[in-house]
Amino acid sequence: MTALRSAVLLLAVLASTFVIAAPRFAVPEAHRTPASPESVQPAPEMLSPEAMADDLEHLIDVIEEVHPDPYAYTSRRTIRRLHRATLDRLSEPASPRTFYREAARLAAAFQDGHTLVQWPRDQFLASMRNGATVLPLSVERNATALRIQKACKSARSLDGRRVSSIQGQPAEHLHEDMQALVSGPPRYRAAQVDDQFPYLAWALGLEAPYRVATTHSDGQATVDTLEGLRMLGVRSCLSDNRKPAFSFGRVSDADGHVVGVMTINSLRSARRVRKGIENALRSIQNRPVDGIVIDLRDNRGGSTATVLHVLAPFTDRTVRLTAQKSWKISDTYKQYLKRRGLGPPAYQRARSGKVIDIEYEPQSLPSARFRYDGPVAMLVGPRTFSAAVKLADITQYYDIAPLVGSETGGRPSGFGEGYGFRLPNSGLRAMASTAEYVRLNGEREGKGVIPDVQVMDLQVGETDLAMQAAIQVVAGRDAG
């Protein structure tokens, strides 16, 4: 164990391999973890039943080899039953898009959030080059309905309407079908579907012209036939909501309090986030604020190195990233780490098939160019995932700042450090967790981080309820 503990800093770097979901409405990117470097041939137009069966077997074999506890959330018996049912549905040749739906459902049934078949970006781009289009609107689901958040081109008049059906299929059923393609806790799956609705509609085989039934706030129901968006339209309309990794602004409340808001949408680049925080704190030195809100509600994760840089200006405590890591030893992951020049010797020497437990030691935070000692609150919600959940858990455990909002979509105790690989016949990218993490308080419950001040993540008119509550917290007033 001593040799393993000495490798904790390197393990922290390795632990930064988390799922990075695409920015909202940008064309989704494949996970940044490189797939295994075996030669990848372009996917054929049609896949034989034998080829698809081979891919599914390969998927399960890799998951079982590298995952520390693949059946933690779903039993082996259930997965095997789903596997057989999937094979029964694939008794005829099928397109890679059809096979993606089946493979993604099977992988998502493991439910751990980092074991999955990725959205087929390569096939999507190829189809767009060949004239395919996508649904010209984005949606947002709340407790009562699925509503159009943004509509493009001729559909702009539909903004804000409740969606009843698309192509005759009830909107709620479509949303549930899409969630079945996404891995992770239910709240995260629902949020991810909202973010990628037009692209998942393509994955489900919905094609233009689109018949969209909607209901206006006054009860008026209409059915509109919409043209699809080509790639240029996707980039100019659906992708223009792409959010920067870091942004800073000031807001004022009714009592005249001025609060600085640091919105961190990605922890992928430590340099970019660190620079953004430095610039924000420099600005605050010149124009003081009454408090700071750190907004992680649209943050899907990134690097644990970035987590430490976010914390550094706000506390001088030593922190642990997590309580424990249980790491599965496998020949496949040994080779992967060796090719990248990573992995402590203790991992390479350990017997494959074994799970080793590593306890994390407290570590000092990196030096911060600017410090802030005023009141701080951190906003979280169902789109807070992976390394951002780790950041929230550390912040709460060490009492660095109160958390405001709703339960995180990701679990602080759960699986991660995904190993990326390709399925041999379809070329689809897949991922399997290689490690399990236990949160700082030692709980292994499969739930997210619960904020200290719980507020629904809702927009009522022009009012962002969770942001309003966070401002009240830093301004020293009761947010309840």
Position 29 scores a pLDDT of 45
Greater model confidence, 38 or 77 = 77
Evaluate whether residue 55 is within a structural domain.
no
Position 217 scores a pLDDT of 84
What are the φ and ψ backbone dihedral angles of 194, each rounded to 5 degrees?
A: -55, -45
CA distances, 60 to each of 41, 79, 234, 267 (Å): 21, 9, 35, 30
Q: Over the chain, what is the mean pLDDT?
A: 87
The rounded distance, in Å, linking the Cα atoms of 255 and 188 is: 35
pLDDT category at 461 given cuts 50, 70, 90 is low
Evaluate whether residue 240 is within a structural domain.
no
Domains in the chain, number:
1
pLDDT in tens, 163-176: 999 999 999 999 99
Provide the percentage of residues in the chain whose pLDDT is more than 90.
69
Position 459 scores a pLDDT of 66
Position 254 scores a pLDDT of 81
Q: Comparing C-alpha atoms, which of 97, 8, 101, 104 is closest to residue 46?
A: 97
**Residue 32, C-beta contacts closer than 8 angstroms, at least 6 positions apart:** 20, 268
Evaluate whether residue 341 is within a structural domain.
yes
Evaluate whether residue 470 is within a structural domain.
yes
pLDDT in tens, 302-355: 888 999 999 999 999 999 999 999 999 999 999 999 998 887 888 999 999 999
At 333, which CATH number?
A: 3.90.226.10
CB distance 152 to 229 below 8 Å: yes
Evaluate whether residue 50 is within a structural domain.
no
Evaluate whether residue 313 is within a structural domain.
yes
Q: Please report which residue ranges of 228-318 form alpha helices under DSSP H.
A: 231-236, 270-286, 304-311
Evaluate whether residue 27 is within a structural domain.
no
Evaluate whether residue 59 is within a structural domain.
no
Query: Would you give the end-to-end CA distance of the chain in angstroms?
Result: 47
pLDDT category at 32 given cuts 50, 70, 90 is very low
Residue 18 has pLDDT above 50, yes or no: no
Pairing of strands 221-226, 246-252: unpaired
Q: Comparing C-alpha atoms, which of 400, 406, 387, 394 is closest to residue 451?
A: 406
Instruction: Write down the pTM of the prediction.
Output: 0.83
Greater model confidence, 323 or 160 = 323
Position 287 scores a pLDDT of 96
CB distance 137 to 155 below 8 Å: yes
| Structural domain of 432 | 246-474
Position 34 scores a pLDDT of 45
pLDDT in tens, 378-420: 999 988 988 999 999 999 999 999 999 999 989 999 998 999 9
